[in-house]
Amino acid sequence: MPNNKTGMKKNLTNYGDTGFSIFLRKAFIKGLGYSDDMLGKKIIGITNTFSDYNPCHGNVPDLIKSAKAGILANGAIPLEFPTITIHESFANPTSMYLRNLMSMDTEEMLRAQPMDACILIGGCDKTVPAQVMGGISADVPIIQLVTGPMLTGSFRGERVGACTDCRRFWASYRAEDLNENDIDEVNNQLVPTVGTCGVMGTASTMAITTEALGLMIPNSACAPAVSADRKRIAEKTGEISVKIANENLNPSKFLNEKSFMNALTVLSAIGGSTNGVVHLTAMAGRLGINIDLRQFDKLTHNLPMIVDLKPSGVGYMEDLYKAGGSIRIFNELKDFLHLDAKLVNGNSLGEEIQKASKWKQYVITTKDNPVFKGGSIAVLNGTLAPGCAIIKQSAASPDLLVHEGKAVVFDNLEDLANRVDSEELEVSKDDVLVLKSIGPKGGPGMPEAGLIPIPKKLAKQGVKDMVRISDGRMSGTASGTIVLHVTPESYEKGPLAIVQNGDLIKLDVPNRKIDLLISEVEMNNRISVLSDNQIKRRGYNKLYMEEVTQADEGVDFKFLK
């Protein structure tokens, strides 16, 4: 229902007497020491997603302090409130399983409480998508503030950062190139400060693409979590939040298809995380915008990748910030972007890009001298993935992008854990590793287990990469020839469910194909004998399993779209 009231009079608790509702509300909040003068102002909500379980959000209290200063200086009253927070390593079974729950929490708290605008403070992978999804659905004026990336550490003189290096060093430990003491020493250095992963992982991807979407103040995605700039960005976000409250600038008034095309273009050009495809699809779905992944492939097919950061390249987020940050990236991409797309501060993307300064640096390249040519993320299709599948080809081994090999199948994560390092496992470097049951329902929550470890006996021989296929996701910080998000997933009896050891699989990324080389008759016979899952469920798990969509629809709940 439209709500034309402002401040404390907004979203009143219903007792059947409006006067009493406001009287009671003010009586209670005065217990915190507010005066009538203060309570007559516009209210800016601030989501407090600090938690001891979420080190990526360790600077949230500082950011809230700075955002409050910006709000108060511009004549409104800041009120912080808690919502769910999610950290990648502290969410069982997976953070993705909880993303929609956080989005519902955010949406309903924005709807339920009195606020004229809201600053959404997030950072770790799922928090920003959840907040944007919830904010779009609530259609309250929102502005995103990210916690910012962590700094890098040092291991015996080598610069390291979460979490591309986490995976690289762990692979060396599995191959017995590092011993117990070495790996313990590495463990102390990977996360030297609070903040989000310092490479072009999902958190950095979502920060930059959310800025490209128009929901953050310009050039605010990359400043380190522990920098003074990050606090100034929070203060400025406070200032703009008052502006959007005064203008009643709901996201539906300026977000449109062009905004999402910009975000998808930027996603590909920065060599962003494959998770970004899922999240942007879900965010767009909340506005009724359908993102067709084949259209995404067409849009980005010839797009240069111009950011040289791990896992596709060599640098870290602090390097990107010093090179000019997100606005410098957008500037280099201006020929590919909708420059008339409006941003939350009221300006157009084109107006902001004009303000970007340029200097000599080596992190952001030009479209004529790209880090990778031809779309960092490719969308595949074929008899193994009739819906679609995706691969981050910029982070894959070029010699494996066209490959045919025998399937070595793992039925689920438990089977993988039990057998992948066994000396008895029959596997060679040319085989294709297939992992089932890690899709949206099978996981549940699409575990980031698509980076199937190289079997130990091959790792010890020096094998670093193989073609690996699953219906799950992989961390944005990971690399390798990894085919992900196979749709329909195996739990839903997609063709992945019927792959057997020894079946031939053909991957052809240049032609965007992924095929299981068995006859149609054989495929139908195998699918016809698959049995249904008959597990009794309750609570959120029941809701999740009944409502979650497949990867190509953003893994959102049907009833939230």
**Which residue in 307, 298, 244 sits closest to 271, CA to CA?**
307
The DSSP secondary-structure symbol of 48 reads: E
Residue 127 or 331 with smaller CB distance to ligand FES: 127
- Closer by beta carbon to ligand FES, 211 or else 431: 211
- Compare residues 194 and 240 and give the one whose CB is closer to ligand FES: 194
Burial class, 10, CB count within 10 angstroms (exposed 0-12 / middle 13-18 / buried 19+): middle
Nearer to ligand FES, 148 or 251 (CB): 148
The count of residues interacting with ligand FES (CB under 6 A) is 10
In the stretch 145-164, what mask flags binding to ligand FES with x, by CB under 6 A?
------------------x-
For the bound state, the minimum distance from the C-beta of residue 366 to ligand FES, rounded and expressed in Å, comes to 29
Rule CB under 6 A: which of 200-259 touch ligand FES? 201, 203
State the minimum distance, in angstroms, from the CB of residue 203 to ligand FES. Answer: 3
Q: Answer for the pair 218, 345: CB distance below 8 angstroms, yes or no.
A: yes
Query: Residue 390: beta bridge partners?
Result: 379, 484
d(CA 270, CA 199): 11
Cα–Cα nearest to 435, from 473, 483, 401, 469: 469
Q: Provide the minimum distance between the beta carbon of 191 and ligand FES in the complex, in angstroms, as a whole number.
A: 9
Residue 463: CA count within 13 A, CB half-sphere: 18
The answer to whether the beta carbons of residues 548 and 555 sit under 8 Å apart is yes
What is the CB neighbour count within 10 angstroms for residue 418? 11
Which two structure tokens, joined as six digits, stand for 521? 């008759």
Question: Whole-number minimum distance, CB 149 to ligand FES, in Å?
Answer: 8
Q: Name residue 37's amino acid.
A: D
Q: 80, 125, 308, 318: which one contacts ligand FES (CB under 6 A)?
A: 125
Q: Which long-range contacts (CB under 8 A, 24 or more apart) does 422-426 make?
A: 423/457, 425/455, 425/457, 426/501
Residue 125 CB, nearest approach to ligand FES (Å): 5
| 3-class DSSP state of 372 | strand
Q: Which is nearer to ligand FES, 205 or 237 (CB)?
A: 205
Q: Which of 60, 124, 136, 287 binds ligand FES (CB under 6 A)?
A: 124
483 burial level (CB within 10 Å; 0-12, 13-18, 19+)? buried
Applying CB under 6 A, which of residues 56, 128, 217, 293 lies at the interface with ligand FES? 56
> Among 58, 85, 88, 327, which residue interacts with ligand FES (rule: CB under 6 A)?
88
Q: Nearest approach, Cβ of 207 to ligand FES (angstroms)?
A: 10
DSSP 96: H
- When the beta carbons of 475 and 549 are compared against ligand FES, the nearer one is 475
Q: Considering beta carbons, is residue 209 or 365 the nearer one to ligand FES?
A: 209
Site string for ligand FES, 177-206 (x = CB under 6 A): -------------------xx---x-x---
Among 87, 231, 236, 485, contact with ligand FES (rule: CB under 6 A): 87
- Crossing angle of helices 325-332 and 202-213, in 10° steps, is 70
Q: Which of 60, 49, 119, 121 is nearest to 90 (CA)?
A: 49
Nearer to ligand FES, 87 or 231 (CB): 87
The distance of closest approach from Cβ of residue 39 to ligand FES in the complex, given in angstroms and rounded to an integer, is 37
Tell me how far, at minimum, the Cβ of 196 lies from ligand FES, in Å: 4
Amino acid occupying residue 387: G
CB of 336 to ligand FES, least distance (A): 27
Work out whether strand 142-146 and strand 77-82 pair parallel, antiparallel, or are unpaired.
Answer: unpaired
Residues that bind ligand FES (CB under 6 A): 56, 87-88, 124-125, 163, 196-197, 201, 203
